[in-house]
Structure 1
Amino acid sequence: MLSNQVQSKISTSASDHICPNCGNKGLEIFYEVRNVPVHSCLMMSSKEEALDFPCGDVVLGFCDKCGFITNVEFDPKWSAYAPNYEDQQSFSPTFNKFAVDLAKKLIDKYDLHNKDLVEIGCSKGDFLLLLCELGNNRGIGIDPSVVPGRVQSEAAERVTFIQEYYSESHAKYVGDFICCRHTLEHIQPTAEFIQTVRNSIGERKNVAFFLEIPDNTRVLQQLAFEDIYYEHCSYFSPGTLARLFRSCGFEVTDLYLEYGEQYLLIEAIPVDTPSSKIHPLEETVADVVADVKYFTENIQQKLEHWKQYLEKMQAEQKKVVVWGSGSKCVAFLTTLDTIDKIEYVVDINPHRHGKFIPGVGKEIMSPEFLKEYQPDTVIVMNAIYCDEIGQMLQKMGVNPEIVAL
């Protein structure tokens, strides 16, 4: 079983680490979680394999020049994204509605009809196929974890998947529109990555670039420790992301929040000289400093609250289940060091059922399991799914207390 040590305190002196976002030397360390699994979504075939999974440390450093936050202990050797990396979210009606609405918005805004599209970090291909279905487009998806044929689509014959990490060797794949969703947070040399995309576009100034990542402002302000885990090595606020794009030769055309303000979305076009125009959503580095300070001063209290809650449930012999077996679940259980307080974890994704969570060792159960188990409490890892989960439980005749993390 993992044993973690969590510390939250801004160091008095800057470290020697160089910011991978702007090149500034010296990052202030402010949050540490030791001995956590280096991957959250690689599916393990046995409990023993899951418990023997490699562990690393999360040590967050803050750059006082650009506002970027990164895990200074991150080691890219653990970036083992492969077909058994299971992060597909399209089994949720709530998420699907968001994806369809977003796809329609981008198609209308950029006239993506009969065009060539590229998605960097396409996962299992759901969103790229959706864009190609709705706009009769052609697509190239690049991701080492892609499973061609996993997602059934009438557009499948118009989409080519490349089971590789994106690099300069893929610069020829530009097309008319480039998108990248929930990938940049897994990459530490962030400036190098965005610059590679910019270089691939070259002088084709009509190629728009759309990118979506978690919003770190929410993580800091809401003390969302469950969104801090090893493979998320890079954390962006709106201003930090916009400044990065401008520094790499992009003009930011839109910057906004979606999905319960959990996701940060940016749209940009290549230019020779970006303007100094600041988008209304952008915060200053001083604002990020204030958010980091708030986080460090309050996170321990929130961690203690959840530890006491789980201990109380165990003492009262309550049956507590976690709904959602992905990265939030792994961070929730390992950061609190209370894996033994939860007996079962359920997930809606059928490709996770019967698999074991790395570093945690819990078998992932189908929601149908709850009919028999009849839990007293279901802790939902993402509040945006509470209504959806409540309806599913009600239809199954299961009526627990639903607690949102």
Structure 2
Amino acid sequence: MGTVARNTRADRTELRVLRRDEWNTWYDALITAFGGTPESAEERELWDGLTEVDRSLGIWDGDACVGTAGAFSFRVTVPGGASVPAAGVTMVSVAATHRRRGLLTSMMRRQLDDVRSWGEPLAVLTASEPAIYGRFGYGIATLRGSAEIDTARVRLTVPPGTEDVRLRYADPGAVREQCEAVYARQVAGRPGMLARRPGWENLPLLDPESERQGTSPLQCVIAEREDEVVGYARYFVKPEWEDSVPKGEVLLRDLEALDPAAYAALWRFLFGIDLTSKLSLRSRPVDDSWQHLVSDLRRCGLRQQDSLHVRLVDLGAALEARTYQTPVDVVFEVEDAFCPWNEGRWRLTGDAKGASCKRTEEPADLALSVRELGSVYLGGFSLASLAGAGRVRELRAGALAEASLAFASAVAPWLPHGF
């Protein structure tokens, strides 16, 4: 929508696109809103380089920045493997001194208008407070799994070929390109994964000493077969002793592998690190295959938490961008008060080869809001589950089962890292 300033309160505040020379003031306002704990110079430099200032908004009260919001240029994998443009909503804050004035709503309004003008059918975010974003049409679309595995008591059963994989320690920075190539080959295979643009390969290597909290520096092990890197694991080790007995912890940052044998070899390595008895995972797919390698899932302390929230900005284009697991022909009656251009009836027809989603006057089969479509978009939740909560209404018998099955994904959607 350009850079024309717009008043959010006629008396004093101004909403406008960020300028490069304002970034430090803008980012300081964000840090203050999130508690005021300073970041390391390394982390601040990374986010300075990644911020797209022409896609970032600030609200100013005189010389003071009192509201922030950004939007990264992402491409996110959707069911069927397509990589779809998406605005990665980020760095959203309102100063505590300026609450309850409609500033957040004004930024969300401007931002979604901008995203539409950029021709991006999706907006996505991770939420520090998930209750905030539903009213703007965002639905929880992916979950992340965490676990605390008792490696002293849990054993692994690995598949044939694991012994053929060679593991070696490597400096994380020295093998960044090889690890990034492994990551890139995984992106199309799982909905929710992000195709990383230049600069984003540095995010998994972020390791400020001030934030280690007793852990080692970031460590890396790579898996090789015939001199080709086929997997990697990046992790920290936190030494701990109790009555002269080692009880150290391994904290996994990320792990990717191109085949089951390399995958199993990396997990077996993590389970067997000397002087440790616990492996902690903080963000893994909820259907991660390590759960089928372990001897006792009950001793793995599994938990789930919301991760990626999805908002359909251009409903028709978004639903046409993905494929459908089974043939579907359904008419949705959609509510979207915040983006009224999505309101009304849409006929979706599609299968595993492609889809069409057009406006229609035909009778509706299912009634729901754009928030529910965001939740099911990547295949992580079902329309039937949402109907059980009263958030989807079936208007034609059989339509709910048909559409629920069609929207499913063969693998659970997953966001590999925050932004």
Specify if TM > 0.5.
Answer: no
TM normalised by structure 1 equals: 0.26
TM-score computed with the length of structure 2 as normaliser: 0.25
Structure that is richer in strand per residue = 2
Question: Which has the higher Rg, Structure 1 or Structure 2?
Answer: 2
